[in-house]
A and B are shown apart, each in its own frame.
Chain A
Amino acid sequence: MGAEIITILKKDFISLFYSRQAYFLIVIYLVLSMVATFFGGGYFQIDNTSLSSFFIYQPELFMIISPALAMRLWADERRYGTLELLLTQPVRPLSVVLGKFFAAWSFCLLLLALTFPLWKTTSFYIKTDDFHITINYVCCLLVAGFFCGISCCISSFCSGLISAYILSVFFCVVIKQMNLDYLFKQFGISGDILQKIAQSINFDAHYYHILQGQLGINNIMFFGVSIIVFLWFNTIAVDYKRG
């Protein structure tokens, strides 16, 4: 199964660079990251030992970048008519789903790696907390995986590139902003268990918890389990598409 995943990952990762979309996304991501860091995050105004001005807006950026990556993975197979070919190869649907997901996630890793010069430049001027920054990068990678998972899942249900992108962004925004705790209070629903559930699936709570340097097993579990759930839905979608 591992070999199948690597084969599909390699092919799909290279395919991203074929249409020049990858280069476009790299430029967009780096420009927006720097704008968000220097203007939105207040790079020169706040204490940047953990590079928080850079990490603060990363979820918003990956919310628009990940769907752009994932929309091609499944929609292109349909556009070129290769989905039928792929589904009749002796590979498990799960291997195809994982191969495509890891291709998108690897690209996000590349994007994050391209921002290392900011870290190095900052550490040249001030004493940075490198351990904290490393944790923040890991957190960002998990966030990127989270949004890639949602986007791959949505893309597998859609037949057009544009609809896949718009729906993916919509679901990424809804899931990120979902605050059940607030909703429960608005509807007068109370209870300790409900409150705990609401807090445990609150994206922002987990992300900002990690940004404060408090990476816990529950935070990793939240992102890990979410990715697994989205990929499971993705596998169901592929089976459903078989008709």
Chain B
Amino acid sequence: MLVVKNLSKSFGAVKALDNINFCLKKGEITALLGPNGAGKTTLLRLLTGVYTPDCGEVTLNGYNISTEPQQALHQFSYVPESGSLYPELTVFEYLQYIAQLHRLTHQDFVDSLVFLMKQLDLGDVINQKTETLSKGYRRRVGIAGALLSGPAILILDEPTEGLDPNQKFSLRHFLKEYSKDRIVIISTHIMEEVAATANRVILLNKGKLIRDTFPEELKKISPDNDLEQAFRKITE
């Protein structure tokens, strides 16, 4: 379970997030929506402990990210928007490095690697330097790194950016399967993605949580039952 209580964060005079509250349970794929500057990335960074909150708390499976960071960091994996990888490492070396940081045994690493290579179609590039990869492959390698340890909570910032339609389809299918006994959070601008993947939507605007609902409920706000129109109507 992921619990966010009274979370606020300011950067100087700018209030990036103001009193955010929600609770996520297993089996949910939550889409974090909002226009640019709404506070999505700040929220993700607070959830993952990259930022420390001004007030409020984040608990991941009972571990507070601020006071028990080591236990909390074992609960989730995060794929940042930049999809940055170490250019000097091959895909295999990168995944091995991440596995070692997660203290996976060699057998667990091999098992995860074989599974993820098949799921994310990384077989052709496994010995290629990450700097030579296309954007889509870089994204998939980043996601593979996050999935290596089989985290209970998976946090993805713009997961399908750079992927072709086939890859998008297979990743969405994979995330749906993966979320059956886990929590998945995706931050995205793409409504098609929300409609195809998410079963819950958290909408942020100007640092405030303005809707915490289901995609179907959100659609009803628009006369045409359209997510994009509903998004515009709420955030404009």
> A residues bordering B, Cβ < 8 Å?
3-4, 7-8, 11, 14-15, 18-19, 80-82, 84-85, 87-92, 242-243
B residues 68-101 near A (Cβ < 8 Å) are 70, 73-74, 76-78, 80, 82, 84-89, 97-98, 100-101
- Judging by beta carbons under 8 Å apart, are A88 and B97 in contact? no
Q: Residue on A with the closest CB to B42?
A: A243
Q: Taking the nearest CB of chain B, how far is it from the CB of A238, in angstroms?
A: 11
- Judging by beta carbons under 8 Å apart, are A11 and B97 in contact? yes
Q: Which of B70, B86, B97 contacts A7 (CB 8 A)?
A: B97
- Judging by beta carbons under 8 Å apart, are A87 and B50 in contact? yes
Q: Max chain B CB contacts within 10 Å: which of A15, A80, A85, A91?
A: A85
Q: Taking the nearest CB of chain A, how far is it from the CB of B172, in angstroms?
A: 23
Q: Taking the nearest CB of chain A, how far is it from the CB of B112, in angstroms?
A: 15
The CA-CA distance from A15 to B131 in the complex, in Å, is 13
Residues of A within 8 A of B87 (CB): 18, 80
Size range of the chain B interface in the assembly: 20 to 34
Q: Taking the nearest CB of chain A, how far is it from the CB of B123, in angstroms?
A: 23
- Judging by beta carbons under 8 Å apart, are B103 and A3 in contact? yes
- Judging by beta carbons under 8 Å apart, are A84 and B101 in contact? no
Q: Apart from A11-B97, A85-B78, A88-B78, what are 13 other A-B pairs with CB-CB below 8 Å?
A: A7-B101, A11-B86, A80-B85, A80-B86, A80-B87, A81-B82, A81-B84, A84-B45, A84-B84, A89-B102, A90-B74, A91-B73, A243-B50
Residues of B within 8 A of A14 (CB): 88
- Judging by beta carbons under 8 Å apart, are A81 and B80 in contact? yes
Residues of B within 8 A of A4 (CB): 101, 103
B229 at the interface (CB under 8 A from A): no
Residues of B within 8 A of A19 (CB): 88
- Judging by beta carbons under 8 Å apart, are B51 and A242 in contact? yes
The CA-CA distance from A143 to B51 in the complex, in Å, is 35
